[in-house]
């Protein structure tokens, strides 16, 4: 069974936080995927051996291109601006920053989850989510920024249910995850290892094309595609830098487990293990 790691990136040739944290043991299967127009800028910082030019642009289209063109059986996609942490002890919400050996164990754990036949899609929780839940994994929930796939299962879902990353320009990962869940493909979210990033919508990446108008259009489009589980809401923007000139943004509220129940499978067997902090 072959494995591959892909780091989609755009506009951040000099800020490759995730690539810098890939341990040597996994470097030979890692590629930074960039628009062809930015190849030379990334070649100077990443190196030709770890660089893959993509003919499309936008994170959703890039993820879809990777899935359709990879030769690996199991694929891990990581955002390009990530820092990684781990629980200090089992069931403890306190976290410690990963060193190189922790990153080896983290990546190995993610690939083992991908190879578990119960899941087609896996991810890793945020720091804040690890403080709320003390279990090792959650299932049938939101997956973002870290995406791992059993490629054969995902491509089957694409052919049968049009489950794709390029349906929407924003919130494309929400659409992908909901479509998988609605058709009975359970996911797994790792909480013993977690990620953080400098900030949402920072320069580069999606910020190059995200606007308040496009954000609202995609929120309403997502709700139209998944009317039983998605509600459009308005959120106040905290701070001043992350979302440019938006004082508020149109966003969504999603019932992830309800999406899985739509498949007719009933509650997932793992749900009773999802312990919350303080309960």
Encode the chain (279 residues) as per-residue pLDDT tens digits: 899 999 999 999 999 999 999 999 999 999 999 999 999 999 988 999 999 999 999 999 999 999 999 999 999 999 999 999 999 998 899 999 999 999 999 999 999 999 999 999 999 999 999 899 999 999 999 999 999 999 999 999 999 999 999 999 999 999 999 999 999 999 999 999 999 997 554 555 565 667 889 999 999 999 999 999 999 999 887 654 455 556 788 999 999 999 999 999 999 999 989 999 875
pLDDT, residue 237, reads 78
CATH number at residue 67: 3.90.550
Q: Is 133 contained in some domain?
A: yes
User: 276, exposed or middle or buried, with CB in 10 Å at 0-12, 13-18, 19+?
Assistant: exposed
Buried b (16+ CB within 10 A) or exposed e, 108-121: ebbbebbeeeebbb
The total number of structural domains in the chain stands at: 1
Q: Is 232 contained in some domain?
A: yes
Q: Is 236 contained in some domain?
A: yes
State the pairing for strand pair 95-97/137-139.
unpaired
pLDDT, residue 200, reads 56
Q: Is 23 contained in some domain?
A: yes
Q: Is 10 contained in some domain?
A: yes
Q: Is 279 contained in some domain?
A: no
Q: Is 196 contained in some domain?
A: yes
User: 104, exposed or middle or buried, with CB in 10 Å at 0-12, 13-18, 19+?
Assistant: middle
pLDDT, residue 247, reads 75
Domain that holds residue 242: 3-273
Q: Is 278 contained in some domain?
A: no
Rounded (10°) angle between helices 59-69 and 151-161: 110
pLDDT, residue 211, reads 86
Using DSSP, how many helices (H) and how many strands (E) does the chain show? 10, 12
How many beta carbons lie within 10 A of that of residue 126, not counting itself?
20
């Amino acid at each position: 069974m072959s494995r591959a790691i892909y780091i989609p990136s755009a506009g951040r040739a000099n800020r490759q936080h995730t690539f810098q944290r890939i341990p040597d043991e996994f470097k030979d299967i890692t590629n930074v995927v960039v628009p062809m127009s930015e190849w030379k800028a990334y070649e100077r910082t990443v190196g030709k051996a770890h660089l893959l030019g993509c003919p499309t642009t936008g994170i959703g289209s890039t993820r879809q291109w990777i899935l359709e063109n990879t030769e690996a059986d199991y694929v891990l996609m990581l955002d390009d601006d990530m820092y990684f942490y781990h629980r200090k002890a089992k069931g403890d919400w306190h976290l410690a920053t990963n060193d190189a050996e922790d990153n080896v164990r983290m990546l190995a754990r993610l690939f083992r989850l991908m190879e578990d036949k119960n899941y087609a899609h896996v991810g890793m929780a945020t720091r804040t989510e690890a403080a709320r839940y003390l279990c090792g994994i959650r299932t049938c929930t939101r997956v973002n920024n870290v995406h791992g796939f059993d490629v054969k299962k995902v491509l089957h879902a694409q052919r049968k249910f049009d489950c794709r990353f390029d349906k929407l320009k924003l919130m494309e990962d929400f659409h992908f995850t909901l479509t998988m869940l609605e058709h009975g493909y359970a996911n797994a979210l790792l909480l013993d290892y977690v990620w953080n990033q400098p900030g949402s919508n920072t320069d580069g990446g999606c910020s190059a094309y995200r606007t308040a108008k496009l954000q609202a259009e995609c929120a309403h489009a997502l709700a139209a595609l998944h009317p039983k589980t998605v509600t459009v809401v308005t959120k106040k923007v905290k701070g001043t830098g992350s979302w440019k000139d938006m004082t508020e943004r149109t966003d969504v509220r999603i019932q992830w487990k309800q999406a899985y129940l739509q498949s007719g499978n009933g509650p997932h067997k793992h749900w009773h293990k999802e312990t919350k902090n303080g309960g």
